[in-house]
Amino acid sequence: MPEFIMGSYFFKMMSKADDEMAQPRTLEELLRDFSSTKIAKETDLNQVVESKVWSHKFREHLRKNTMTDEETLLKFLVLTQPLQANHDICLNKKRKPCLSKKETEILVKRAVMEFFSENSEEQLCLSNQDLFQSLFESSKRLARGGKVHKDDLTLLLTARTDLDVWYDGLEPEFMRFIQRIGPSAIACILSIL
């Protein structure tokens, strides 16, 4: 009988700590939580980042260390994650795309205008200056009422993997964050069992 009680307690403890158990090990895993997030043009990006436990904790870490550029990178990657996931699905062709053409256009326009326009409060820096210039030109065209082109999406997806965004940008800081907090308590318990 004690085994049943202990097992029941263990499963109850596991279900309450789902978010803690799902501690991401990489930046890619953290962003995967936003793959199917519906982000409209009026959606507050800060609320989207705060809506997930681990992105909230990571953002707190960035704010505590006054890393405003990295916080901007996080918001850019969160905003463009549904575009990346949709692109991956379209390449795979095994599932129906998550985003409609209209939703894709809204996200592309929003990302270009928020992170690459001259009026942007949170403009991104890219190591690839040609890529930055192309996105900057797209922002000017879109600001004049131009339509979103397929190239705009391609440029945004390329910007996600820019050295200053990913490899020399947010990923190293995310790995430092994960190392500082260590494995979750549930992960430690599971490793013992």
Closest CA to 50 of 60, 40, 38, 41: 60
Q: In angstroms, rounded to a whole number, what is the distance separating the alpha carbons of residues 186 and 23?
A: 10
pLDDT digits over 38-66, tens only?
888 888 999 999 999 999 999 999 999 99
List of residues 6+ apart from 128 with CB closer than 8 A: 158, 162, 163
CB 81 within 8 A of CB 165: no
2 pLDDT above the threshold of 60: no
Q: What percent of the chain has pLDDT over 90?
A: 67
So where are the chain's domains?
A: 27-183
pTM for the whole structure: 0.83
pLDDT digits over 88-128, tens only?
877 766 666 678 889 999 999 999 999 999 989 999 999 99
- At 186 the pLDDT is 44
Q: Is 43 helix (H, G, I), strand (E, B) or coil?
A: coil
